Amino acid sequence: MLTILTLTPLGVGLLLLILPQILPGSSADTLRKVNRSISFGVSMALFVIASYIAFENFGGIDWLNINMGEYQLMNDEPVTLISSIGVSWIVGVDALSLPMVWLTALLIPLSMLVEWDAKEGHIFHPLILVMEGALIGVFVALDLFVFYVFWEMTLIPMFFLILVWGGDDRKYASMKFFIYTFTASVVMLIGILIMYFHTGDIAGVSGSITGHHFNLLEMNSEMIQSEGLRHLVWILLLIGFATKMPSVPVHTWLPDAHVQAPTAGSMLLAGVMLKMGAYGFLRVAVSLFPESTVVFIPILLILGMSSLVYGAWVCMGQTNLKRMVAYSSVSHMGLIFLGIATMQPLGIAGALFMMFAHGIISPLLFAVAGAFKHHYHTLEIGSMRGIAHHSPYLAAHMMLGWMGSLGLPLLAGFVAEVAIMIAFWMSFGWLVILPALTLIITAVYYLNSMQKTIFESNDRHHGILPESLHGEEPRDITWHENTSMFILGILTVLFGIFPFIFFDMMSDWSTSFIQDVLLEEIINQGVKP
Amino acid sequence: MNLPLNMSEAELIIPELIMLAGLIAIILIPNFGDASFRIPLSRMKVPILIGGNRFKLTSNPKLPNRVSLAIFSTAFFFALMQTTYGKVGDTLEVTPFSRLFTLIFTAALILATIATTHRIPARANLNAPKDSDSENVATKKINALIDNRRQVDFHIILIMVGLGMSLMSMATHLFMLFVCIELASLSSYILVAFHKESKVGGEAGMKYFIVGSVASAIGIYGMSMLYLWNGDLSLDALALAWIESETVDPIAGIAVGLMLVAFGFKVGAAPFHLAAPDAYSGASSPVAGLLATASKAMGFVALMRILITVTMPESGEAFWFTTIAIIAVVTMTWGNLAALTSTNPKRILAYSSVSHAGYMLAGLAAIGSGLASEEAMKLILTAIVFHLAVLVVFKFGAFLVLSLLETEGRSHELKDLHGLARREPLIAGSMFLFMLSLAGVPPLSGFLSKFLMINGIVNVSAGTGTSDVSSVMDWVTSVEPVFWLAFAIVLNSALSMFYYLRIGLVMFFEEPENNKPMKDALSLRIAIAFCALFTVIIGIGPLSDSLLQMAADAIDSFISN
């Protein structure tokens, strides 16, 4: 099932890209519509499959069965891909990856919907479909080689999304995006290779000329004897994952990429691609090297705290709507690091839920920003005032998104923030004041820009229109934009009120993770359990 | 009569014999005509077929191309089918190693032949100029005739390159090795100068010839010193003498150093690479592709013979370790930095090929460190051979795309690639694929080879850090310096991303100068599509497995010698 989920979008997307070039073409318009419909149809079908996997036994949830070490393997028998170097196709989901897979399958059709009328649509929608395959591949692959392949594969569609459909400065942004993340992941590759080199021969891997394998399920920290080397691997992995997340000081590609990317690109970038970093970090670095994680808690704290504070602080100075949302993403990603740094079940569960909640809220924000750009031709905060008069729906979505992002109770972001704060208090005591105060800054910049954009107009009927409209009346948002934002908004509320849909599963995962792997280390290190 | 070659030996070298027969055939076939010979004092005319008015078939200017394509394809096929191995005479030995390289060489030559089909204009129905023609018309007609004539010359030389390279990979005697290298090299100098459509062609050929000859001369000088030292140049005898001498004899050391210059020039290692970018940019694209793939592979075979077979000590560090390690790092960095500033796509590819030589030299250096177990050594050598094999697919693929541009008389500036995606989406897509593969992006085949290389180096060195240290810094200071070669490769990969992406960028971003689709060169397009396909499927899947297995077998036979 997971194999279908991964390979179908890749195959169909590539076919839709290549076939029209070879076959004698029909008119460009027909082609665009056909490709769009097929892509959307396939992505919807995949969403149904993903939902089926996620909520298969929703009635009698037995989340305890889904935890580390008990992957739901969809393939009974791993398929060997390159036996000479021990690569095989192993896929599976657990509480860590399942929400991410579902999120990806959800966001793809929504982002297609937002850019329903994209120019060069015969390439745009298939490209997003290819992206879906690569993204799901990252989340389900349990073979580090395959994982790395999918990890890098996500770069290519995103590179083109920014390069072809981006804003004015897209050339610079796409290059920066590609080179930054590529460099970081090659550093990560060295870490993976050191791990690979230390794996022993196991049953099921035959004919490997190197005598090693990439199977993540068979790896553990004991395979590397030298503690220093273990720490080095952990740091190499951290560099790769932290750049993707991104964390201060390697975050600078993100604002550029976000501002230039098309709306759909931004939604996927913020919604899923950033989560790849956090996911990989938890899946590989934290799970395999827990005691290194405990040793390096100060590094995580510093990275997380500086991302959180710096991101929020910079947000206050932004005048560009997308830049502000991008920096708020950096800030929220900092919270994930803090959640992991607590090394508490609740903190890790909070971090996981933050990944999920941010994956719903930030696409909503970027959809709003994209629609704003689309209809008002500007992204400057304050150039347009009183949207509420012109586009009440847009204003409502904007408001909901911002409220969710600043952590209003009963919205999805709140659950994650509270969980992380409580765990933080348990681990570090009064230090919790720092992140808590930062949340106030978050509220400040959101409320400030909300006031400037949605309200604050003297003219009750027109608001202040930006110069970029040249005096024309703006149109209201289109039905497909509205639908997409509406669904995201509903989910924000839904997961705010019923967080347990995924939160229970996540906290079970983190509890068993902490209990199974960490108890001894924590006692040794003298950290309060 | 005592034939110098008996049947069982002849069976082993069928691909080479095919090329030899082809060489004779391609000289003869275009000359077949209806000439006849009258027996003196009689009226009987005996047709002798050579000369006279040529037949319609043999006068077809496209014929040499087809003949050489057929020759290389059959040679490739027979090399692929070969299952028996053994010695041929005293100086040649057919092993899986030499077979794999014959495959690499002939594959590159097949691609070069296909690419040439649409490059050198071949026109049927040409007439010699008449007296009544004006000077201009006469010159045009003569030029066209010369073009047709060049078809044959080009392919004759191409086959000589193939023959030299293929024999070279089997040579077990240093002298034979050198003669074969020179056969291939001298032919390739002519091929570079063959690009007469632009002024730089002749200049490039000359430059390449002079620098190459000097390098060869130095190498031969080194070889003569080795002869002075040992009195026998067969590789086995040299290796034996090397093991027996307890310390490195100064004469032998200097001799090997001098030979490194010659082979370093062939692979394009810094600082002997300086002629390479000029040669690549001056040559026509198919020839440049040949230089970047087959010629480089040839240089690496020679390097591996001299460094691994002969001078690698049984245990401990080889005396050339530091030199090669430094050359490797300098080569990859220099290549990448120079490529960043180039605006000629051929120069960019030339410099990228220099940096790739650096990656492979880093692999050799890791072996020379003496830390590698036999397994690790095999692994690194397999990586190098695998890389040389897959280079044919994507490096040559990139040059094929440039060949397609060259049919329009362009491909010397980056702006000729502008907007290729609008004009030819599939060609541009393939080119982007080749660039990504060169940069080493998974799941393409370039990634797999780079991965194996880094893996080999990490494998050799990561175990050397002391295992009882608990802090990162202690480990970092205790690890062997070889480990940092892997880091150098990684950093350089990141650096190289800039210019590979820039090629992608101008294809997809910039406005094209005109929107017309390009020349309908069907065979070239098919070849590009094949290269693109193989770039992907060798990267991941069963085919990569079998190619890796072939490389591993080749290395097994190479080591056991």
Residue A473: which H helix or E strand, with range? none
Helix ranges (DSSP H) in B84-231: 96-117, 135-170, 174-193, 200-230
For residue B213, how far is the Cα from the chain centroid? 18
For residue B388, give how far its alpha carbon lies from the nearest alpha carbon of chain A (Å): 18
For residue B431, give how far its alpha carbon lies from the nearest alpha carbon of chain A (Å): 14
Q: Is the peptide bond before A345 cis (omega within 30 degrees of 0)?
A: no
What residue of A is the nearest CA neighbor of B461? A194
Phi and psi at B447, nearest 5°, equal -70, -45
Which chain B residues have a beta carbon less than 8 Å from that of A81? Answer: 540-541
For residue B13, give how far its alpha carbon lies from the nearest alpha carbon of chain A (Å): 29
Give the residues across from A215 on adjacent strands. Answer: A143
pLDDT in tens, A124-143: 888 999 999 999 999 988 88
The residues near A301 (Cβ < 8 Å, ≥ 6 apart) are A337, A338, A341, A428
Closest Cβ opposite residue A179 in set B476, B497, B540? B497
Q: Which of A234, A233, A251 is nearest to A242 (CA)?
A: A251
The answer to whether the CB of B482 falls within 8 A of the CB of B454 is no
Mutation site for B-interface testing, chosen from A84, A154, A158, A235 by largest number of B Cβ within 10 Å: A84
- Confidence at residue A203, expressed as pLDDT on a 0 to 100 scale: 46
Q: Terminus-to-terminus CA distance in chain A, angstroms?
A: 39
The answer to whether the CB of A488 falls within 8 A of the CB of A497 is no
pLDDT in tens, A169-211: 888 888 888 888 888 888 888 888 888 877 765 544 455 666 6
Question: Can you give the three-state secondary structure of A279-308, one letter per residue?
Answer: HHHHHHHHHHCHHHHHHCHHHHHHHHHHHH
Q: Per residue in A293-302, is it b (16+ CB within 10 Å) or e — as a string?
A: bbbbbebbbe
- CA dist., res. B536 & res. A225, Å (int): 37
Q: How many CB pairs under 8 A join A and B?
A: 134
pLDDT in tens, A213-265: 787 777 777 777 777 888 888 999 999 999 988 888 888 898 889 888 998 89
The answer to whether the CB of A82 falls within 8 A of the CB of A37 is no
Asked if the C-beta of A7 comes within 8 angstroms of chain B's C-beta atoms, the answer is: no
Q: Do A209 and B379 touch (CB under 8 A)?
A: yes
Q: Do A194 and B469 touch (CB under 8 A)?
A: no
Asked if the C-beta of A447 comes within 8 angstroms of chain B's C-beta atoms, the answer is: no
Token couple for A237? 């992995």
Q: Do A231 and B441 touch (CB under 8 A)?
A: no
User: What's the Cα-to-Cα distance from A179 to each of A37, A257, B492, rounded to whole Å?
Assistant: 33, 12, 12
Q: Per residue in A163-178, is it b (16+ CB within 10 Å) or e — as a string?
A: bbbbeeebbebbbbbb
How many contiguous H segments (helices) and E segments (strands) does chain A have? 23, 4
- Confidence at residue B340, expressed as pLDDT on a 0 to 100 scale: 87
Mutation site for B-interface testing, chosen from A14, A127, A178 by largest number of B Cβ within 10 Å: A178
- Confidence at residue A57, expressed as pLDDT on a 0 to 100 scale: 52
- Confidence at residue A223, expressed as pLDDT on a 0 to 100 scale: 74
Q: Do B442 and A197 touch (CB under 8 A)?
A: no
A84 compared with B344, residue with greater pLDDT: B344
Q: Do A175 and B443 touch (CB under 8 A)?
A: no
- CA dist., res. B258 & res. B174, Å (int): 14
What residue of A is the nearest CA neighbor of B373? A210
- Confidence at residue A463, expressed as pLDDT on a 0 to 100 scale: 59
Q: Do B501 and A178 touch (CB under 8 A)?
A: yes
Asked if the C-beta of A148 comes within 8 angstroms of chain B's C-beta atoms, the answer is: yes
For residues A325-338, give the mean pLDDT: 90
Instruction: Return the ∠ at Cα B211 (arms to B208 and B217), rounded to 5°.
Output: 130
- CA dist., res. B535 & res. B558, Å (int): 26
Token couple for A354? 């933050």
pLDDT in tens, B176-185: 999 999 999 9
Which chain B residues have a beta carbon less than 8 Å from that of A182? Answer: 439, 441, 494, 497
- CA dist., res. B299 & res. B318, Å (int): 20
Asked if the C-beta of A227 comes within 8 angstroms of chain B's C-beta atoms, the answer is: yes
Residue A391: which H helix or E strand, with range? none
- pLDDT of A526 higher than 60: no
What residue of B is the nearest CA neighbor of A231? B472
Q: Is the peptide bond before B47 cis (omega within 30 degrees of 0)?
A: no
pLDDT in tens, A434-461: 888 888 888 888 888 888 887 766 565 5
- CA dist., res. B253 & res. A99, Å (int): 63
Q: Do B426 and A22 touch (CB under 8 A)?
A: yes
- Confidence at residue A459, expressed as pLDDT on a 0 to 100 scale: 61
Count CB neighbours of A332 within 10 A: 28
For residue A362, how far is the Cα from the chain centroid? 9
- Confidence at residue B544, expressed as pLDDT on a 0 to 100 scale: 84
Q: Which of A496, A236, A247 is nearest to A360 (CA)?
A: A496
Q: Do B472 and A231 touch (CB under 8 A)?
A: yes
The residues near B333 (Cβ < 8 Å, ≥ 6 apart) are B355, B358, B488, B492, B495
Asked if the C-beta of A239 comes within 8 angstroms of chain B's C-beta atoms, the answer is: no
Phi and psi at A141, nearest 5°, equal -70, 135
Token couple for A256? 């550029």
- pLDDT of A78 higher than 80: no
- Confidence at residue B431, expressed as pLDDT on a 0 to 100 scale: 92
Q: Which of A104, A99, A143 is nearest to B442 (CA)?
A: A143
Phi and psi at B108, nearest 5°, equal -60, -40
- Confidence at residue A375, expressed as pLDDT on a 0 to 100 scale: 82
What residue of A is the nearest CA neighbor of B555? A209
Q: Do A226 and B469 touch (CB under 8 A)?
A: yes
For residue B105, give how far its alpha carbon lies from the nearest alpha carbon of chain A (Å): 24
Residue A518 DSSP class: I
Token couple for A71? 């992957």
For residue B277, how far is the Cα from the chain centroid? 15
Residues lower than pLDDT 50 in chain B: 1
Which chain B residues have a beta carbon less than 8 Å from that of A211? Answer: 375
What residue of A is the nearest CA neighbor of B477? A228
- CA dist., res. B106 & res. B306, Å (int): 24
What residue of B is the nearest CA neighbor of A291? B470
Q: Do A197 and B452 touch (CB under 8 A)?
A: no
Q: Do B442 and A148 touch (CB under 8 A)?
A: yes
Question: Tokens 């590789």 sit at which residue?
Answer: B235
- Confidence at residue A470, expressed as pLDDT on a 0 to 100 scale: 66
Asked if the C-beta of A226 comes within 8 angstroms of chain B's C-beta atoms, the answer is: yes
Residue type, position B36, single letter: S
pLDDT in tens, A2-28: 788 888 888 898 888 888 777 766 677
What residue of B is the nearest CA neighbor of A160? B508
Count CB neighbours of A268 within 10 A: 28
Q: Looking at B304-397, which runs of residues are DSSP E strands?
A: none
For residue B409, give how far its alpha carbon lies from the nearest alpha carbon of chain A (Å): 25
Residue A89: which H helix or E strand, with range? strand A87-89
Asked if the C-beta of A289 comes within 8 angstroms of chain B's C-beta atoms, the answer is: no
Q: Do A190 and B441 touch (CB under 8 A)?
A: no
Residue A268: which H helix or E strand, with range? helix A263-268
Token couple for B180? 């074969």
Strand B45-47 and strand B86-88: the pairing is unpaired
Q: Is the peptide bond before A246 cis (omega within 30 degrees of 0)?
A: yes
- CA dist., res. B165 & res. B169, Å (int): 6
Query: B154, exposed or middle or buried, with CB in 10 Å at 0-12, 13-18, 19+?
Result: buried
For residue A127, give how far its alpha carbon lies from the nearest alpha carbon of chain B (Å): 13
Asked if the C-beta of A164 comes within 8 angstroms of chain B's C-beta atoms, the answer is: yes
- Confidence at residue B70, expressed as pLDDT on a 0 to 100 scale: 93
For residue B299, how far is the Cα from the chain centroid? 8
